[in-house]
Amino acid sequence: MKRTIAGIHSGEGGKADREARRMRDLLLRRDFLRSGLGLTGVYPLCCLSPELPPSAVLWEKDRLLLDLTAAAPLKRIGSAASVADPARKVNLLVIRSGKNQFAALDRTCTHGGAMCAYQHRTRTLRCTSLNHAEYDLQGTLLHGRTHGNLRSYPVRRKGKTLEILLEGRG
Ligand code: FES
């Protein structure tokens, strides 16, 4: 039997038409949610930590050097960017909390492994999972039922280079 949108709207047909209506309602609801999120500017927190471009990152044995002139995601005070190397088991969030204030912490929440994102208003890292564990810029757990603090790494600025000491994990 050939069905039409008009037929679906008029309610004709049996089980197949009910299924088609259910699918149409699901799609409409999905489109509504998408457009609503877009209109209000609300995006998942995990989307707020862009990756640093490879041209800004130099991995060395015990440290990571970031070229701030090539690290566009870190130009603004209050910004944060991720840098990861699965082979080294490193997944960091690098934060610029002031003109010359930077922090580097593990990005993976100690509770269930969800990613953390930086909230400049509170100067904290917040887990993007529903439990929303929160950590300060030293990695200390502020609240949330997790398995402890985030690891933080010593950071030094030398001119236009940011040095992150991977062996000096806090
Ligand atoms: S994974 Fe972060 S609070 Fe659960």
Pairing of strands 79-85, 116-119: unpaired
Ligand 1 atom nearest residue 109's Cα = 2
| Residues 50-63, mean pLDDT to the nearest whole number | 95
Residues 94, 80 contacting (CB under 8 angstroms): yes
How much distance in Å is there from the Cα of 11 to the middle of ligand 1? 45
Q: What is the pTM of this model?
A: 0.72
Q: Measured from the CB, is residue 46 less than 6 Å from ligand 1?
A: no
Percent of all residues in the chain with a pLDDT value above 90, rounded to a whole number: 62
Tell me how far CA of residue 91 lies from CA of 30, 72, 108, 121, in angstroms.
32, 19, 7, 23
pLDDT > 70? residue 117: yes
pLDDT > 60? residue 36: no
What was the pLDDT predicted at 48? 72
pLDDT > 80? residue 17: no
Q: Measured from the CB, is residue 131 less than 6 Å from ligand 1?
A: yes
What CATH number matches the domain at 45-165, 2.102.10.10, 2.60.40.10, 1.10.3300.10, 2.40.30.40? 2.102.10.10
Ligand 1 atom nearest residue 132's Cα = 3
What was the pLDDT predicted at 130? 85
Q: Measured from the CB, is residue 133 less than 6 Å from ligand 1?
A: yes
How much distance in Å is there from the Cα of 124 to the middle of ligand 1? 15
Residues 146, 164 contacting (CB under 8 angstroms): no
Q: DSSP E strands: which ranges in 120-169?
A: 124-127, 134-135, 141-143, 152-153, 155-158, 161-165
| Residues 125-130, mean pLDDT to the nearest whole number | 92
How much distance in Å is there from the Cα of 32 to the middle of ligand 1? 28
Domain boundaries, the chain: 5-40, 45-165
pLDDT in tens, 58-96: 999 899 999 999 999 999 999 999 999 999 999 999 999
